[in-house]
Amino acid sequence: MAPNKSASPALPPEASLIRQLRERPAALSRKMSLSNAMKRLAEIAPDGYGFSDGTWRNIEAGRKIAEDWELVLIGLVLYATPEQVAATGRATAAELLRKEIDARAKTELAASKVSLDDIPAGTKQKLLRQLAEIDNVPGATEKDRQELREVLFGQIDALMDMHAATLRLRAR
């Protein structure tokens, strides 16, 4: 049987991730248009480090392999996690994204009106208690403890996603 010439080659993993994140088929979030993505890129990119919508299109279509710094900026725009980027085989870009997220979080928290003092003591205490319980699970290995921490933080992350969805619904 002759090969199907109309079939397009598979996208590079990072292009698939970018497309998936930008089109995010979730009930409570909308697809991010390329125009909105480029506006966000202009807001977050350090001066002189942005790129054109044509470059974005070429990366997302798999016609251009993103440089690590480009993938980091796209990851910031689309709220990609370092783990998602690493899963595409781009370990260096994933590590750079992790460092950039940490730096931006530190800066944003320092500049925001929210401080650790704003988090109720009871909430802090519950988190500390849960972490202590994880550290003291009888017979657990360090790997087991790490998995339990990941579950805990995954649940916190899911709760934050639900809160964000609630805010979007209220904004409509």
User: What local confidence, expressed as pLDDT, does residue 54 receive?
Assistant: 96
Segment 103-148, tens digit of pLDDT: 888 777 666 666 667 777 778 778 878 888 888 888 999 999 999 9
Segment 12-37, tens digit of pLDDT: 999 999 999 998 765 556 788 899 89
pLDDT at 168 over 50: yes
CA 41 to chain centre: 14
- Tokens standing for 118? 């704003």
Q: Are 20 and 75 in contact (CB under 8 A)?
A: no
pLDDT at 3 over 60: no
User: What local confidence, expressed as pLDDT, does residue 123 receive?
Assistant: 81
Q: Are 71 and 85 in contact (CB under 8 A)?
A: yes
Residue that has been written with the tokens 């996208």 in this structure? 11
Mean pLDDT (the chain) is 85
Q: Are 17 and 84 in contact (CB under 8 A)?
A: yes
Element (H, E) at 76: helix 68-78
- Confidence band (pLDDT; 50, 70, 90) for 5? very low
Give dist(CA 37, CA 45) in Å, integer: 12
Query: What does pTM read for this prediction?
Result: 0.69
Collect all residues with Cβ–Cβ distance below 8 Å to 135 and sequence separation of at least 6.
Answer: 145
